[in-house]
Amino acid sequence: MSVMISMFADSLSYELDKNAAYFFTRTNKRIKWLLNKLVEILIKITLVDILLFIVAFIFFYFLGYKIIDFKEFICIAWKVLILTILTQYILVILSNLISIKINSSYGYIISNLAYIISVLNFYYLSSKNTVLFKYIPFTQQFITVQDNEYIDRSIKYFSKYIVGYSFSEAILYDFIILIIIILIGIKQIRKTEFY
């Protein structure tokens, strides 16, 4: 997560510092510009993640790991990839919005701290056998395998799971967070004066 945040943490603020006066004095399409940049960031994150997943699969293949059931593998890998991309995208957008308001160092630090605190809370609450841990932001990719019948529940890290929790719930939860952050970004771009 930290690497992805550092790669894209200041994409918007860099562009705004460089060209905001040029863009926004000639056009009033700030929201369209912001949404285009956010889509561009999503595409870049997706491409990097797909590349990283392919490299990881090749690496584990050379280490001697084999795919026993291809259907199971595709099902789990696809879900983990989608939720990882969404989590990274949310954190990168958060970092970018903070970078616009304050500066890129704070955006990077706050996004990473938010992720670290979420992960620590996730492990703490999951060890307490409470279902509250499914509502912790930025941890949905950890519980994506909850609704999967292929998971070996005798493995320590998969032994605790949320009954009835599904991949679609995780996607919905991430989309709600994403929409809230994008709406905050739109409001922020509308209010900011660029010179």
Q: Label each residue of 70-113 as H, E or C.
A: HHHHHHHHHHHHHHHHHHHHHHHHHHHHHHHHCCHHHHHHHHHH
Task: Determine which of 35-49, 62-76, 145-159 has the lowest per-residue pLDDT on average.
Answer: 145-159
How confident is the model over 154-190, as pLDDT tens digits? 766 666 666 666 778 888 888 999 999 999 988 988 8
How confident is the model over 79-131, as pLDDT tens digits? 888 988 998 999 999 998 888 888 888 888 888 888 888 888 777 777 776 66
pLDDT of residue 54: 93
**Stronger pLDDT, 74 or 128, i.e. the higher one:** 74
**Is the pTM above the cut of 0.95?**
no
pLDDT category at 144 given cuts 50, 70, 90 is: low
